[in-house]
Structure 1
Amino acid sequence: MNNREHARQARRTLPRPLHIAAWLTFAAAQAAVAQTSTQDSGATSAAPKTPQAAAASGTAGKDQALPAVKVSASQVADSPLNLSTPVNSGALGTRSQLDTPFSTTVVTGENLAERQVYKLGDVFAGDASVTNNSNAYNAWATYITIRGLPVDWQNGFRIDGNPFISYGITMPYEQLERVELLKGLGGFMYGFAQPGGLVNYVTKRPEKDPVTSLDVGYRMDGVLSTHVDLSRRFGPDDMFGARLNYTKEAGKTYNAGDINRNSVSLALDGQLTRDLQVWFNALYQTIRTSGQTPAIYTGSYTASSLPAVISGGSNLLGGTDQHINTNLQLYTAGVRYQLTPDWSFATSGSYSKSARDRNESTLTLLNQQGDYTDARWNGDEAHQDIYWQGMFEGKVKTGPFTHQLVIGGAYQHQTNNYALNSIYTVLGNGNLYQPNPWRFYSGGGLETYRTSDITQASAFVSDTMQITSRWAVLAGLRYTNYSQNNYATTGEKTSQYSQNGVLTPTFALMYKLEPNTTLYASYVEALEQGAIVDSIYANGGAMLRPLRSRQYEIGIKSEHERWSATAALFRIERGAAYANADNVYVQDGNSIYEGVEAAGSVRLGRSWQVAGSVTLLDTWYAKGQSYNGNRVAGAPTFVAAGRVTYDVPYVQGLQLAADAKFTGSTQVRPANNLETGGYMVVNVGANYFTRIGGHDVTLRAAIDNITNRRYWMFQYSDYIAPGDPRTVSLNAKIDF
């Protein structure tokens, strides 16, 4: 059977969206093979492997039959763990992953583009400590758990180090330079926050060289996107820089819904003098989606096992009447001044605003046959964050010791507005395996009122003392004044909580086994703000006190030219909060998380890159009146992830990839009487890099969940969701 017959056979046997992926891969391979054949027979030298060499070849080699190509492996580091990458560590300043005595993960923008991610769980698909708890295109799209703990949607997300309210917000991943993840407690580094971890989105900045690129994409069932990226430096000695990114995305989603997204980000900087740098960043995004998959609530469910699994791509659970429309705005400006060769001062301020208009169902599961009650909620919500931070960083010597000091302060004022006349109504009953018969359309634009405001003012100091060339000790302390006010619809204050002088310390001991290997032991404390109980519980509206957490961690990080590895052993102690048998949401006792995580990557020969990650987790409730000894809800005992990439020999520029992630069974409720089953999701992709008409061109194809595996995933305590279906994504990018 020849190549064309193979292609025709693929068209007959694959579903329609896969036709496009098959044809793209077939066309890319054919073009690559033809090009390689031409080069082998007539070219006088091998094709260049670096972008610079490829560009030179495109200019000088006009008499070649076909343009040169570049190999993808030359564009990425041999170590995808990115341990040398600087990460924002809040009160610790900026330091590399290798020198940070906590477990961290960095995912680069190139990796995001290669895998064509479109929700937060996919960003960290290669990290076994992160569990995906979300469907795309709905209000839960940023829900993940880290080491079995949820990320705080009010305090656990930042953009370029600046806080914003993330609930319902899907970031424009194509406009990001990288995504940073701090696992575990961030209380010393960032202030009040739940102990799951912190996600920092780093937007693209002006580069030394000009950037002009355009890419177009497709995602099944009919979402089309266009993205433009422009970067320039100008002025005397290129002292000013500007970078603009714009994305337009619209079409039909896989669950028969609609999406319309417009995202724009702008980054400006200026090196005004040798020592003085200024910057301004802005991000503006609007997203309108309909037809999202509803959340499924199991609090009233009495069976011991879940109903038969449905596909997350099903349109049976809702219609286009359900929607979430979001708006995100972030503006930040800063100044950095190099006071002396060893000391600098940086200060920045930001204003962020996020708003949501939601019309969504919660399906209360009734029995194992899949019957449910559909309750609809419709309302508007808005949040604002004003943030300022000033920080001195420098070095001093005391006798034989060198001290790396960070001294600073921060102020954050957050306001939360919710709908004054939100609508909550029970529509009626339905079944998971039949079309939802209920519709409730709403126009949005509901009036909101101030429900709460939260103020944090803090001062912090840290000292990393270099004792010898190998040994270093870190000590840090944050001092925080915290206040929270809650208001009635009339504007009257209904309750208040304040606590001054909250101390959250951290300590670490670090030892350099060799320059590229760090062994560390660390301790950190954190305090998280008290929750306002959801209305589904008997004590809905009650305000709970803040919870204190502690974390102990021992780890090792090592990065080398062709391999890298990390490992950590940890214990987290957190105050427990859950719904008891009377459906009262209470704080009772502790939840304990103990585990070990390990990750590694190695390049085998010239063509293979293999990476893997594994997490073993033991959790239990302790010292409470209920559920002592039970596993903590939402914490799987075992997760493993792996990725393999292959640079195809004799086909320069063609890279194939496959990754898989297995998530073990997870308890849905603290009572441990209901759990999801374990499941594995497999993704594949292909990237082809070439030059056409003197321009770099990148073709990408990705298939997520290629086996179309159906599974229930834990979403939040007492909530589950069906996993996303098989999804095909295509993208073509040209650099001018």
Structure 2
Amino acid sequence: MSFSLKLLPLALACATSVHADDTGATTDPRKATVLEGIRVNATAVDAYRTDNASAGALGNRALLDTPFSIDAVTEELIKNRQANNINDVFKGDASTTPFSNGYSGENSAFSVRGLQIDELNGYRINGMSVPAWAADIPVEHFQQIELLKGLSGFMYGFSQPGGMLNFVTKKPTEQPTATFRLGYTSRSSITEEADLGGRFGKDHQFGYRLDAVNEQGGTYVDNGYIKRKSVSLGLDWRINDQLTWHFDSLYQDRHIRGAMYGVIPCQDFGVCQPNGPQFVSIPSPLKGSQRISSTDTGYGTSMRMATTGVTWNISPDWTLSADAAMTLQGRSNRDSAIFLLDNQGQYLEHQYLGYTDYLYRSAQAMLNGHFETGSLKHDVVIGAAWQKNMQRYGDNIFDEADLGIGNIHNPSDFPQSPIALIRHVRDSSSETQGAVFASDTVTFSEQWQALLGLRAIDYTQSGYNYFGDGKRNALYERKPVTPTVALMYKPAAWMTVYASYVKSLEEGTSVPAGQGYANEGEVFAPMTSKQYELGAKFAQDSWNLNAAVFRIERGLAYSVVRDNQRFMTQDGQVRFDGFELSGQTRLGSQWTLLGSAMWLDATNERADPTVEGKRAFGSARFQASSYIEYAVPTMPGWVLTAGGRYVGNRPLESNNSNIAGAYHTFDVGTRVTTRVGQYPVTFRLNLDNITNEKYWLVGWESIMNQGAPRVLRASVEVALQ
């Protein structure tokens, strides 16, 4: 890669940006464009930018008034980039690093600031906890997807410090709408979607939003196949001017064939090396379309989620909300780990089999209000929350099978294990969190604000005798108090400078089975994390800019070799020091730019000599991304797009034995909005990774996955209104 190509994403990132109008009309807010009878007044900022997001225990807040880094992606941007997984949704945020994808790997997932998002505690739908263990949540059903970067202890409770994802479901529309989309993804996957919304009844007091998606066909992996269907339903009832009831549900079944658990270089121990221990280095990246695991390997996931609640506007200054939710996620495993045995590409394909499900139940009540004490203004939140997360295993969850030995440069296709999956489940582990929380944002003057928040948690983690009588055989209890403190200064109404401190706890490390650890199944005590952040936010009509300097300190889990055996241990800490910059701007009346960059120094501290002072696994020192849109002035409704992403090299292990190389990808696209007869129609065409870059994604320690190859996406969307 030439020096100029390396700098292109950075150059674009440093030019902050605004998002382009979905219709392709002029982005000058002083003008309106008539497109064959369609009057377009919304600017690019209106279509892509959001000024508010959920902040958990702080409630819904203006982004400018939150002393944390939050990225929110709107439905329009998701549509126009034709994103169909969470990696695509946040590909424009350089603070995120993809480490798996849902076509060649177990699911689409990314880390934030070098830290992975907790797949059991780091995902929310409308603020309520849902499991996302090795599963993809269908992004088509949401009007906004929000990412809180870093620690979320006060806002949400126990979770890993990578961040918190909140998916905001589509809401009932005020006017009847019906939108239909037909999409194609290389190599032969077809997607159909129907999105219906409206209101009915006296004074339109009842609202509905129904969105159904079906995807089926070949994936970009050789002989890969996907079959996916999902439906979301949102209802509300405006009981009176003050009281509203709502209900939201999501159903999904997703099955993937030709996917794998990951590629694992065996080193420093003889567990999976028949000829004794030797060092196995990372091979050259493979094409993203190359199948490695056998054709019939793969997995299936299902999700059934329902939430309901009420919002009571007690007065202009006080609002009470109460919500309850239940989610059941099931997962059927027939995916394979590819253990590299030597540096010539020889591998053992080892298949994991079994069924797992996760049952989540939660409830939360919050009171938001405003009052004054003398010259001080107070924005307060008082609340209580409860959730119980149960993990249950099928009777043969730990069954495994060696399918055969091949070479990754010419993969074999082995017959599948004849072992049948047993879906009868037994309790394996559970965690229960009860919490009360309160915060007060005190306004001293037009310039100065301070935030103090506290969450008191009653946390219980239980293990059950899975192979025996099913009774509880392990118990861990803790009652921590996690604080948040912040100071905000506003030199002007459109600018905020802040300093914040957050403390959080997360579940202890669970040593995975089937990866050669001598202490597999061991669960360590919860870890404490701390975050210090200094940032600035600027928001104008035509541009915005966010900058943050941060330090995150987290407990360290890593693998060590003792007496020729591999152990997972938890001690010491890992420190993440970084600087992130993102922005949006409008250039003239046609150009729109988004840019983002992150510099990161992640170091292991106070740990075993084999990892002391080494870089944290999976962390890149530098990342940058950019996205450009150009509205063709001579052809209203026609928009051209381009984007780029650069990710620096990343250690594969905590001891830095292997370093996965840096990579860059470039995307292009176009869309046209016009009329066919009396109906507005939008045609979209996107080509991602146009150079077909080959690269490795670094996931869990010592586990790699292929990066996505060149992918073509095309769709046509018709609005019947």
Instruction: Settle same-fold status: TM greater than 0.5.
Output: yes
Rate the CA distance shift 1:299–1:193 in 2: closer, same or farther, 3 A.
farther
Q: 2:289 aligns with which of 296, 307, 313?
A: 313
Q: Name the counterpart of 1:703.
A: 687
Contact 1:267 1:280 in 2 (8 A): yes
Residue 611, structure 1, aligned to residue 594, structure 2: yes
The normalised TM-score by structure 2 is: 0.91
Q: Name the counterpart of 2:713.
A: 729
Rate the CA distance shift 1:566–1:49 in 2: closer, same or farther, 3 A.
closer
Q: Name the counterpart of 1:342.
A: 317
- Deviation for aligned residue 1:601: 1.4
Q: Name the counterpart of 1:410.
A: 385
Contact 1:107 1:179 in 2 (8 A): yes
- Deviation for aligned residue 1:462: 0.3
- Deviation for aligned residue 1:565: 0.4
What do residues 488-528 of structure 1 show as CA deviations (whole Å, max 9, x unaligned)?
Answer: 22243464333343100000001112111111100000000
Q: Which amino acid aligns with 2:137?
A: M
Contact 2:26 2:631 in 1 (8 A): no
- Deviation for aligned residue 1:531: 2.7
Q: Which amino acid aligns with 2:448?
A: W
Query: Partner of 1:174: helix, strand, or coil?
Result: helix
Query: Partner of 1:581: helix, strand, or coil?
Result: strand
What do residues 581-615 of structure 1 show as CA deviations (whole Å, max 9, x unaligned)?
Answer: 23211111000000000011111101111121110
Q: 2:238 aligns with which of 256, 265, 271?
A: 271
Q: Which amino acid aligns with 2:357?
A: A
Residue 196, structure 1, aligned to residue 162, structure 2: yes
- Deviation for aligned residue 1:327: 0.7
Length, aligned pairs only: 678
Aligned equivalents of 2:600 and 2:248: distance in 1?
A: 39
Query: Partner of 2:561: helix, strand, or coil?
Result: coil
Aligned equivalents of 1:347 and 1:486: distance in 2?
A: 31
Residue 685, structure 1, aligned to residue 669, structure 2: yes
Query: Partner of 1:671: helix, strand, or coil?
Result: coil
Residue 540, structure 1, aligned to residue 520, structure 2: yes
Q: Which amino acid aligns with 1:103?
A: S
Contact 1:288 1:324 in 2 (8 A): yes
What do residues 40-99 of structure 1 show as CA deviations (whole Å, max 9, x unaligned)?
Answer: xxxxxx99999x988xx79xxxxxxxx44677x94531695x351x21111111102111
Aligned equivalents of 1:673 and 1:320: distance in 2?
A: 31
Rate the CA distance shift 1:201–1:48 in 2: closer, same or farther, 3 A.
closer
Aligned equivalents of 2:431 and 2:26: distance in 1?
A: 59
Residue 507, structure 1, aligned to residue 489, structure 2: no
Rate the CA distance shift 1:438–1:391 in 2: closer, same or farther, 3 A.
same
Q: 1:76 aligns with which of 44, 47, 50?
A: 44
- Deviation for aligned residue 1:282: 0.8
Aligned equivalents of 2:342 and 2:472: distance in 1?
A: 39
Rate the CA distance shift 1:167–1:294 in 2: closer, same or farther, 3 A.
same
Q: Name the counterpart of 1:662.
A: 646
Aligned equivalents of 1:204 and 1:494: distance in 2?
A: 40
Query: Partner of 2:87: helix, strand, or coil?
Result: helix
- Deviation for aligned residue 1:547: 0.2
Q: Name the counterpart of 1:9.
A: none
Aligned 1:380-529 pairs, distance under 5 A: 380-422=355-397, 423-441=399-417, 443-488=420-465, 489-493=467-471, 495-529=473-507
Q: Name the counterpart of 1:14.
A: none
Contact 2:260 2:337 in 1 (8 A): no
Query: Partner of 2:654: helix, strand, or coil?
Result: coil
More helix by share: 1
Aligned equivalents of 2:585 and 2:27: distance in 1?
A: 24
Contact 1:132 1:143 in 2 (8 A): yes
Rate the CA distance shift 1:360–1:623 in 2: closer, same or farther, 3 A.
same
Aligned equivalents of 2:479 and 2:448: distance in 1?
A: 32
Flag structure 2 segments of 5+ consecutive residues without an equivalent.
Answer: 1-22, 269-277
Aligned 1:87-126 pairs, distance under 5 A: 87-126=53-92
Rate the CA distance shift 1:507–1:472 in 2: closer, same or farther, 3 A.
same
Aligned equivalents of 2:32 and 2:446: distance in 1?
A: 39
Q: Which amino acid aligns with 1:264?
A: V
Q: Name the counterpart of 2:205.
A: 239
- Deviation for aligned residue 1:298: 2.3
Aligned equivalents of 1:659 and 1:648: distance in 2?
A: 17
Q: Name the counterpart of 2:619.
A: 635
Contact 1:357 1:445 in 2 (8 A): no
Contact 2:85 2:138 in 1 (8 A): no
What do residues 401-450 of structure 1 show as CA deviations (whole Å, max 9, x unaligned)?
Answer: 01100000000011001122132122232111112242215553443221
Q: Which amino acid aligns with 2:415?
A: R
Kindly report the root-mean-square deviation, in angstroms, between the aligned alpha carbons of the 2 structures: 2.1
Q: Which amino acid aligns with 1:704?
A: D
Q: Name the counterpart of 1:531.
A: 509
Q: Which amino acid aligns with 1:544?
A: F
Aligned equivalents of 1:440 and 1:637: distance in 2?
A: 41
- Deviation for aligned residue 1:532: 2.2
185-194 or 492-501, which moves further after superposition?
A: 492-501
Q: Which amino acid aligns with 1:588?
A: D
Rate the CA distance shift 1:79–1:662 in 2: closer, same or farther, 3 A.
farther
Contact 1:79 1:560 in 2 (8 A): no
Contact 1:656 1:686 in 2 (8 A): yes
Q: Name the counterpart of 2:176.
A: 210
Query: Partner of 2:693: helix, strand, or coil?
Result: coil
More RCO (CA 8 Å, sep 6+): 2
Aligned equivalents of 2:413 and 2:679: distance in 1?
A: 53
Query: Partner of 1:584: helix, strand, or coil?
Result: strand
Q: Name the counterpart of 1:4.
A: none
Q: Name the counterpart of 2:341.
A: 366
Aligned equivalents of 1:271 and 1:563: distance in 2?
A: 36
Q: Name the counterpart of 1:580.
A: 560
Contact 1:352 1:384 in 2 (8 A): yes
Query: Partner of 1:716: helix, strand, or coil?
Result: coil
Rate the CA distance shift 1:227–1:667 in 2: closer, same or farther, 3 A.
same
Rate the CA distance shift 1:262–1:75 in 2: closer, same or farther, 3 A.
farther
Q: Name the counterpart of 1:7.
A: none
Rate the CA distance shift 1:721–1:484 in 2: closer, same or farther, 3 A.
same
Contact 1:712 1:722 in 2 (8 A): yes
